[in-house]
Amino acid sequence: MGEDNSIATLRARVSALVDQEGALLTQAFDASKQGGDRRGVDALFARVQALQVERNRLQKEIGSLLGTRRMHVAAEVWQPGVYDYRPEAGSDTVRVRVSQGPLGLQVELPGRSAPVRIETLHGAFDGPIIGDDAKV
């Protein structure tokens, strides 16, 4: 039985890897601050690096499935500022703010109390509409 390699499934796998990376990085930073065993901290960072390699492989696979559309790493394309975000093709746009978070770019969505990592969103961004110092 083969793996399901639809774009939605691949994106879900990428999102899961991003969540795992965040948890491991938090764990590694906490252990490092507490003066934990250096080998243990190094092992956590090695696991994060392995997850990043897998995530990059999945992103390339998504790019191949999409054909001519180039997949960009978020930092390549988006910079902090205000954007129009369309969650799904044909849906209405929502004005959002992209900012730099501790683990990368994050998006402040209306109706959500906390920002989400940009890698976890599956819609399209247009902009930037306004530079980094603007408020939504």
Same-domain pairing of 43 and 80: no
Q: Are residues 62 and 12 in the same domain?
A: yes
pLDDT of residue 3: 58
Q: What is the pTM of this model?
A: 0.47
Same domain membership, residue 78 and residue 61: no
pLDDT for the residue numbered 52:
94
Residues 78 and 61 grouped into a single domain: no
Answer yes or no: do 62 and 93 share one domain: no
Residue 1 domain-assigned? no
Domain coverage including residue 80? 74-130
User: Based on the domain organization, do 93 and 116 belong to the same domain?
Assistant: yes
Query: Would you state the pLDDT for residue 68?
Result: 37
Does 29 share its domain with 48? yes
Residues 84 and 126 in one domain: yes
| Residue 79 and residue 48 share a domain | no
The string of pLDDT tens digits covering residues 42-63 is 999 999 999 999 999 988 887 7
Residue 136 covered by a domain: no
Q: Which residues of the chain have pLDDT under 70?
A: 1-5, 36, 65-77, 89, 131-136
Mind giving me the DSSP string for the chain?
A: ------HHHHHHHHHHHHHHHHHHHHHHHHHHHTT--HHHHHHHHHHHHHHHHHHHHHHHHHHHHHTTSPP--HHHH--SEEEEEESSTTSPPEEEEEEEETTEEEEE-TT-SS-EEGGG--SEEEEEEE-TT---
